[in-house]
């Protein structure tokens, strides 16, 4: 559990909060390049860490991310004219470039130089592999930190994909689901009979023993765990995963070595979060069903909202739940994504962690919270945030592997965890078995 005070500290990310300041030290993935499809295309409402912002792609293809309210008298720049390398407010015509400079003030006398004194809040951006990254922190160009090296966001064109879904709860509830291996055997596979799973597969191991043991380690970049349970008589099935500051996870489904992916939990505000997943397409690796999105609207809360959501109980089918068979049989909710959405949103917008009862299976969560709180409080005390200037901290691989019982899981998997390495020897479909994303 966390005290109410620590729970507030770790959850809230608005301007001036301890965790908000911490997150602002890092580049944040914020929107798809395709959401700003062409020069001078429609401005986009974006909410990030509780700040209302307007994103636009200017005439030179540069992405600007600036404050929603016009610095003149506050009209929303969403209605602005995106033209000639800037966004022009439609109220009195003041125009701002992607860096927030006021470049035109047409309702003032020509001799006035007031425009040189006005600046909109504007955040630096970078684009890589179809993602727009935003830096909302204190450093200025040319001293911005490097973009984090996320292997799955650095692939040759066409080899990777990006998924975004909104979750209507605090960012940490979503993230904690990613580093919580033991729920897999229940929420996603509770109705699966291990007798029906082919021998020698992750699907067999994960359903035959649903109470893994954990080895949790501190790392410079955050935390790492190996969760293990018996595979064959002389081996363990390990699920190996990482948390990397400030909100990245490298999750265990799929085989270590073959899988290239990263997830992150980018807060929209304290009660909404975008889950962003980068992944290399791996032949034979069946990922869990993601779920259908609603048509988008211009609201920052309606860019990536699912059709099955808390207002319709995630379309739960109680007959499927009663039948109790197959990957959806435990919950009656269709697909891994919706099952995760339902449980983490059902905890409430910001769960009060002083009410929980943590057990041994929560050791990775306990350690990760501690690391986050310590790092954010250290920043508040004047220390640097971890790894900000070490982009390779994010070069992690995760996944499942079968190891001899006496193996040290860190040393034994060093080769499989190396980035930018292909492992054609891994037969992905055969190893994973029939449960999606086991
Ligand atoms: S409020 Fe934007 S120009 Fe006046
Ligand atoms: Fe899950």
Ligand with an atom nearest the CA of residue 333: 2
Tell me the per-residue pLDDT of 50-103, one tens digit each, with 9 for 90 and over: 999 999 999 999 999 999 999 999 999 999 999 999 999 999 999 999 999 999
pTM of the model: 0.97
Q: Ligand 1 mean position to 124 CA, how many Å?
A: 23
Which fold, 153-432?
Naphthalene 1,2-dioxygenase Alpha Subunit; Chain A, domain 1 (3.90.380)
pLDDT of the residue at 290: 85
- Residue ranges of the domains in the chain? 27-144, 153-432
Which ligand has an atom closest to residue 436 CA? 2
Q: Is the pLDDT of residue 286 over 80?
A: no
Neighbours of 22 (CB within 10 A): 24
Region 108-131 average pLDDT: 97
Mean of per-residue pLDDT scores for the chain: 97
**Under a CB-based contact definition with an 8 Å cutoff, are residues 319 and 293 in contact?**
no
Query: Looking at residue 288, what is its pLDDT?
Result: 73
Section 183-195 average pLDDT: 96
Task: Tell me the pLDDT band of 9, cut-offs 50, 70 and 90.
Answer: very high
Average confidence (pLDDT) over 213-232 = 97
Q: Ligand 1 centre from 66 Cα, in Å? A: 14
Nearest CA to ligand 1 atom 1: 73
- Flag whether pLDDT at 44 surpasses 90: yes
pLDDT at position 34 over 80: yes
Q: How confident is the model at residue 207 (pLDDT cuts 50, 70, 90)?
A: very high
Q: What Rg do the C-alpha atoms of the chain give, in angstroms? A: 23
* Residue to probe by mutation, ligand 1, list 88, 89, 118, most atoms within 8 Å of CB: 89
Q: Average pLDDT, stretch 367-386? A: 98
Fold of 27-144: Rieske Iron-sulfur Protein (2.102.10)
Q: Which residue among 75, 96, 114 is best mutated to probe the pocket of ligand 1, counting the most ligand atoms within 8 A of its Cβ?
A: 75
Residue 218 has pLDDT above 80, yes or no: yes
Atom of ligand 1 nearest to the CA of 77: 2
Q: How confident is the model at residue 41 (pLDDT cuts 50, 70, 90)?
A: very high
Q: Are 133 and 27 in contact (CB under 8 A)?
A: yes
How would you label 327-360 residue by residue, b for 16+ Cβ within 10 Å and e otherwise?
Answer: bbbbbbbbbbbbbbbbbbbebeebbebeeeeeee
Closest-CA residue, ligand 1 atom 3, reads 92
Summarize the confidence of residues 388-413 as an average pLDDT: 98
Please tell me which residue, 285 or 372, carries the higher pLDDT value.
Answer: 372
- Asked whether residue 244 carries a pLDDT value surpassing 80, the answer given is yes
Model confidence at 287: pLDDT above 80 = no
Give the distance (Å) from ligand 2 centre to CA of residue 199. 23
Q: Which pLDDT score, from 0 to 100, does residue 170 have?
A: 98
How much is the pLDDT for 284? 79
> Is residue 234 pLDDT above 90, yes or no?
yes
Long-range contacts of 134-140 (CB under 8 A, 24+ apart): 134/27, 134/28, 134/30, 134/48, 134/65, 135/26, 135/27, 135/28, 136/24, 136/28, 136/48, 136/49, 136/51, 137/24, 137/25, 137/26, 138/24, 138/25
Which ligand sits closest to the CA of 79?
1
Q: Which of 66, 73, 95 is the pocket-test mutation for ligand 1 (most atoms within 8 Å of CB)?
A: 73
Ligand 1 binding residues, C-beta < 6 A: 70, 72-75, 89, 91-94
Question: Which protein residues have their CB within 5 A of the ion that is ligand 2?
Answer: 340
C-alpha to C-alpha distances, 157 to 129, 161, 291, nearest whole angstrom:
7, 9, 25
Model confidence at 16, in pLDDT bands (50, 70, 90)?
A: very high
pLDDT of amino acid 91:
98
**What confidence tier does 436 reach under pLDDT thresholds 50, 70, 90?**
confident
pLDDT at res. 336: 94
pLDDT by residue (tens digit) across 292-343?
999 999 999 999 999 999 999 999 999 999 999 999 999 999 999 999 999 9
> Of ligand 1's atoms, which has the minimum distance to the CA of residue 75?
1
Candidates 188, 222, 217, 223; CA nearest to 203 is 188
Closest CA to 273 of 229, 304, 249: 304
């Amino acid at each position: 559990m966390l005290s109410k005070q620590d729970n507030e500290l770790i959850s809230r990310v608005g301007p001036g909060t301890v965790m908000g300041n911490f997150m602002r030290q890092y580049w944040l993935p914020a929107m798809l390049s395709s959401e700003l499809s062409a020069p001078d295309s429609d401005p986009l409402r974006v909410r990030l860490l509780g700040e209302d912002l307007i994103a636009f792609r200017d005439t030179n293809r540069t992405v600007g991310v600036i404050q929603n309210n016009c610095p003149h008298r506050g009209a929303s720049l969403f209605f602005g004219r995106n033209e000639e390398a800037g966004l022009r407010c439609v109220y009195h015509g003041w125009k701002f470039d992607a860096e927030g400079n006021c470049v035109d003030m047409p309702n003032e006398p020509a001799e006035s130089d007031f425009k040189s004194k006005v600046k909109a809040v504007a955040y630096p951006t970078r684009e890589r592999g179809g993602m727009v990254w935003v830096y909302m922190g204190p450093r200025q160009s040319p001293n911005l930190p490097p973009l984090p090296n996320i292997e799955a966001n650095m692939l040759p064109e066409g080899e990777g994909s990006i998924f975004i879904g909104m979750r209507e709860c605090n960012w940490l509830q979503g993230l904690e689901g990613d580093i919580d291996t033991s729920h897999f055997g229940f929420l996603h596979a509770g109705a699966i009979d291990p007798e029906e799973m082919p021998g020698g597969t992750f699907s067999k191991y994960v359903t035959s023993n649903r109470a893994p043991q954990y080895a949790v380690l501190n790392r410079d970049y955050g935390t790492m765990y190996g969760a293990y349970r018996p595979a064959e008589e002389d081996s363990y099935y390990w699920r190996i995963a990482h948390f990397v500051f400030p909100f990245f996870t490298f999750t265990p489904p799929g085989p270590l070595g073959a899988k290239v992916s990263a997830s992150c939990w980018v807060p929209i505000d304290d009660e909404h979060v975008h889950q962003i997943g980068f992944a290399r397409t791996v032949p034979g690796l069946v990922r869990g069903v993601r779920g259908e999105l609603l048509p988008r609207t211009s609201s920052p809360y309606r860019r990536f909202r699912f059709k099955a959501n808390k207002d319709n109980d995630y379309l739960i089918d109680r007959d499927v739940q009663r039948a109790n068979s197959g990957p959806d049989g435990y919950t009656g909710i269709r697909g891994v994504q919706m099952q995760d959405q339902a449980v983490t949103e059902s905890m409430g917008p910001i769960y009060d962690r002083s009410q929980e009862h943590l057990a041994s299976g929560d050791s990775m969560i306990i350690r990760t919270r501690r690391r986050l709180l310590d790092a954010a409080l250290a920043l508040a005390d004047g220390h640097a945030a971890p790894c900000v200037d070490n982009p390779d901290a994010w070069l992690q691989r995760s996944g499942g592997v079968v190891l001899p019982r006496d193996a040290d899981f860190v040393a034994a998997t060093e080769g499989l965890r190396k980035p930018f390495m292909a492992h054609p020897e891994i037969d992905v479909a055969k190893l994973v078995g029939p449960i999606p994303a086991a």
